Amino acid sequence: MAPSGWTQGNIRNGLRMIIRARGAGVWENYMSEQNSESMSRRSLLNMIGTVAGSAVMYHAMTEMGYAGESGYTGPIKLSPPPPGTSVLILGAGIAGMVAAMELRDAGYKVQVLEYNGRAGGRNWSLYGGDTYTELGGFTQKVGFAPGHYLNPGPWRLPYHHYGILSYAKRLNVALEPFTQVNYNAYLHSTESYGGKPQRYRTIQADFQGHVAELLAKSTRQKALDGAVTKEDQEILLAALRNWGALDANYNYAKGLVSSNRRGFDSDPGGGLNSVPIPSQPLALSELLKSRLWASISSGQGYEFQSSIFQPVGGMGMIGKAFGKELGNLIKYNCKVIDIHQDAKGVTATYIDSRTGGAPQKASGDWCVCTIPASILSQIPMNVGAPMKNAIDQLPYEAALKIGLQFKRRFWEEDEQIYGGITFTNQPNAMLGYPNYKYFTKGPGVILASYTFGPNAFIAAAKPPEDRIKDALDYGQKIHPQYKKEYDCGAAVAWHRVPWTLGCAGQWTDERRAKHYNNLCAMDGRIVLAGEHASRIPAWQEGAVTSALDAIGRLHKRVMTA
Amino acid sequence: MKTVFLSLAALLLLTAGASAQEVRAGSFPQQSGEEIFKGVCQGCHMPDAKGATGAGAYPALASNPHLQVAGYPVGVVLHGQKAMPWFSDYFSDEQVANVVNYVRTNFGNHYTDKVTPADVKAQR
């Protein structure tokens, strides 16, 4: 047997027990694979995760010294550099500001140039009173009430994104829960159930219940005899009854048991007329054809599993806090037009991003460049062909976000939806309800569209007011109160954002294999950082871990120079 | 054997990435060159095809001498270039031919030789 080492042996024994206990019946296949090939540690962990679940995988990871490997291992510790060593940082987004803060604290002389008049980059919230002008000159004046906002960029902080969370904590940014899955929100398709939105709760319960019933039937009809032992079949049946809310006969049927998952026609109450009235499960065939099941796993992705968080007052609070911390180390409204390195240092030439004017220069012994590749590909910079090619092969994706403010929180008052997400097959893809100011009497801002791909391209080609008009039409099909209660909105199509030309680096497996290492590797005195130089694309954690990795390597170079 | 295992790993990745992939997949309903330009391209190149400038820039397609050789815009639409994403996954050969022909004969461009879907296919 090829694999060696006690850890893999131990894990394999544990895995065998788990698989047998679960009756998964894949042990033999797994072993036959193992007999002639060794497997990597990560492959083994994937296997464990697939068959045994994440909790078991976590234990296995701990055994193998793998747990917590998010790329973030706690605050970076840099020894003091030679006095006077300077680093020029381009971009005051999350990556640039992480680099600036840590290098400053280590004793470097740092200066940050930023295109915008604010800190944060894509860490950004739009508030009432803000004016946003996209490419083409289309200007929006945001009319949201105080305390309400749209996060055009990131809006969620997974609990395992240790890096960004730790900076939020260090900078005293208050966090609150973000609700990804709301059982009382809707799954909606214009093609099923007459276009009537269904509660997530009923689709989830009914799909799970029907699947459990079918599997129980197969088990009892001996269809699984080859795959599951007799003893395990007993356990499996008990599990299916529990998991699927089946009745004593292993049927998913109308009754108190199933209604306790999917909801009642009339809830139990107190006093007279308090008898609960069960509801009728949806028929399997129609449920399958509805395709609404496609969204019930939305909260099961690693990044969306509870608990996840958002900053109180908008995602932009993190960027603001960084900006305050760095103070006048950041020079705003600087449009970089040239980056040049020589044997002694790096010089960026820039003009005022608002007024143009005479070019100015800023220099450092070293440079951390976090300018998005979409922009950087257009700025003359003397780096070698490998890095240059990598930058030139990384366009940014289309994405659209629209925030609509409504005069009252009808989704809460009329439909008991408190935060979370409704999914729809319409081009807006989803409605994200505000996870703040619950139960208040005033207005609320719904994320009325969040989409990528063709729908986002199409929206970018329209003026902002037309994007909002479309979003109102889509939302009206889910909430009849929508147009009556609409107050004002803001729409951000990322290809028209002047300082990114898209939302995030559009990597493919092929391009990553060819260019990723070249993008990340230091070229002379220049190192790149940002979500685009990470394997967590489009997430702020990618920006943080990329920046820490970049300055760690830069520091090593400084200390050995 | 290894294939079996790899397919398991691939399945895991697919499951994890499904939600993101689903929203990115799809195609554009616009068919004529004008529909495609107005429905998609003008998002970046702007309704007057004169492009736009911020921290970076979208080039003007209007009166653009680079459009003289039809193979060039076909290649850029299919495979992307710098900030321009590739559209080979989204557009059919006909759609690419239609929009290239539209842009090459509008906005001050007067290149009358037509691109055919077969020309596009050859550049995929």
Quickly list DSSP for A527-556: EE-SGGGSSSTTSHHHHHHHHHHHHHHHHH
Distance CA A451, CA A155 (A): 14
Examine residue B56 and state whether it is found in any structural domain, yes or no.
Answer: yes
Examine residue B19 and state whether it is found in any structural domain, yes or no.
Answer: no
- Residue B98's pLDDT is 98
Examine residue B91 and state whether it is found in any structural domain, yes or no.
Answer: yes
Contacts of A121 in chain B (CB under 8 A): none
**Where does the pLDDT of residue A17 fall: very low under 50, low under 70, confident under 90, or very high at 90 and above?**
very low
- CB-CB contact of A133 with A283 (8 Å): no
Distance CA B22, CA A101 (A): 38
Any CB–CB contact under 8 A between B10 and chain A? no
Distance CA A154, CA A338 (A): 29
Structural domains counted in chain B: 1
Helix-then-strand count for chain A, H and E: 19, 22
Angle A468-A470-A471 from CA coordinates, rounded to 5°: 65
Distance CA A372, CA B82 (A): 11
Q: Which of B3, B5, B46 to mutate to test the interface with A (most CBs of A within 10 A)?
A: B5
φ, ψ at A330 (rounded to 5°): -100, 130
Cα→Cα distances A137→A299, A353, A497, B54, B105, Å: 38, 15, 11, 10, 26
- CB-CB contact of B37 with B103 (8 Å): yes
Query: DSSP H helical segments within A127-277, as ranges?
Result: 162-170, 200-220, 230-244, 256-262
Any CB–CB contact under 8 A between A155 and chain B? no
Angstroms from A46 CA to nearest CA on chain B = 7
Examine residue B5 and state whether it is found in any structural domain, yes or no.
Answer: no
Examine residue B9 and state whether it is found in any structural domain, yes or no.
Answer: no
Distance CA A170, CA A318 (A): 10
pLDDT of residue B7 exceeding 50: no
Examine residue B8 and state whether it is found in any structural domain, yes or no.
Answer: no
| Listed residue (B66, B116, B122) closest to B96, CA to CA | B116
Tokens representing A422?
């409704």
pLDDT of residue A50 exceeding 80: no
Average of per-residue pLDDT values in chain A: 90
**Where does the pLDDT of residue B79 fall: very low under 50, low under 70, confident under 90, or very high at 90 and above?**
very high
Distance CA A315, CA A154 (A): 7
Phi-psi region of B85 (alpha: psi -120 to 50; beta: other; left: phi over 0): beta
Side-chain half-sphere CA neighbours of A75 within 13 A = 13
Contacts of A498 in chain B (CB under 8 A): 52, 54-55
Interchain contact, B54 vs A135, CB within 8 Å: yes
Residue A225: CB atoms within 10 Å: 11
Domain residues for the domain of B97 are: 30-123
Examine residue B84 and state whether it is found in any structural domain, yes or no.
Answer: yes
Cα→Cα distances A39→A36, A182, A428, B48, Å: 10, 39, 42, 57
**Where does the pLDDT of residue A70 fall: very low under 50, low under 70, confident under 90, or very high at 90 and above?**
low
Q: Average pLDDT, stretch A336-349?
A: 98
Interchain contact, A395 vs B82, CB within 8 Å: yes
Angstroms from B79 CA to nearest CA on chain A = 10
- CB-CB contact of A395 with B86 (8 Å): yes
Angstroms from A317 CA to nearest CA on chain B = 23
Higher pLDDT, A49 or A241: A241
Whichever domain contains B99, its CATH number is 1.10.760.10
Interchain contact, A460 vs B28, CB within 8 Å: no
Distance CA A472, CA A163 (A): 37
Nearest by CB: A32 against B1, B55, B83: B1
pLDDT tens by residue, B33-55: 999 999 999 999 999 999 999 99
Interchain contact, B40 vs A377, CB within 8 Å: no
Distance CA B81, CA B24 (A): 20
| Listed residue (A101, A123, A122) closest to A112, CA to CA | A101
Q: Which residues pair with A351 in a beta bridge?
A: A335
What long-range pairs does B16-21 form, CB within 8 A, spacing at least 24?
B16/A301, B16/A302, B18/A297, B19/A297, B19/A298, B19/A301, B20/A452
Query: Looking at this protein, which amino acid is placed at residue A99?
Result: A
Contacts of B44 in chain A (CB under 8 A): 135, 460, 495-496, 501
Angstroms from B119 CA to nearest CA on chain A = 24
Average of per-residue pLDDT values in chain B: 84
**Where does the pLDDT of residue A212 fall: very low under 50, low under 70, confident under 90, or very high at 90 and above?**
very high
For A:241-270, CB contacts with B below 8 A are none
Angstroms from B72 CA to nearest CA on chain A = 17
pLDDT tens by residue, A245-285: 999 999 999 999 999 999 999 999 999 989 999 999 999 99
Residue B20: CB atoms within 10 Å: 14
Rg (CA), chain A: 27
Contacts of A392 in chain B (CB under 8 A): 81-82
Any CB–CB contact under 8 A between A392 and chain B? yes
Q: Is the ipTM of this complex over 0.90?
A: no
pLDDT tens by residue, A141-177: 999 999 999 999 999 999 999 999 999 999 999 999 9
| Listed residue (A462, A487, A457) closest to A472, CA to CA | A487
To 10 degrees, the CA torsion angle through A254, A259, A263, A266? 80
Examine residue B2 and state whether it is found in any structural domain, yes or no.
Answer: no
Cα→Cα distances A257→A206, A207, A210, A241, B108, Å: 12, 15, 14, 10, 70
Which residue in the block uniquely carries the two structure tokens 């397609």?
Answer: B61
pLDDT of residue A78 exceeding 90: yes
Task: Return the residue of A nearest to B41 by Cα.
Answer: A461
Q: Average pLDDT, stretch A329-346?
A: 98
pLDDT tens by residue, A548-560: 999 999 999 999 9
Lowest mean pLDDT among A43-52, A65-74, A130-139, A339-348: A43-52
DSSP structure class, residue B39: I
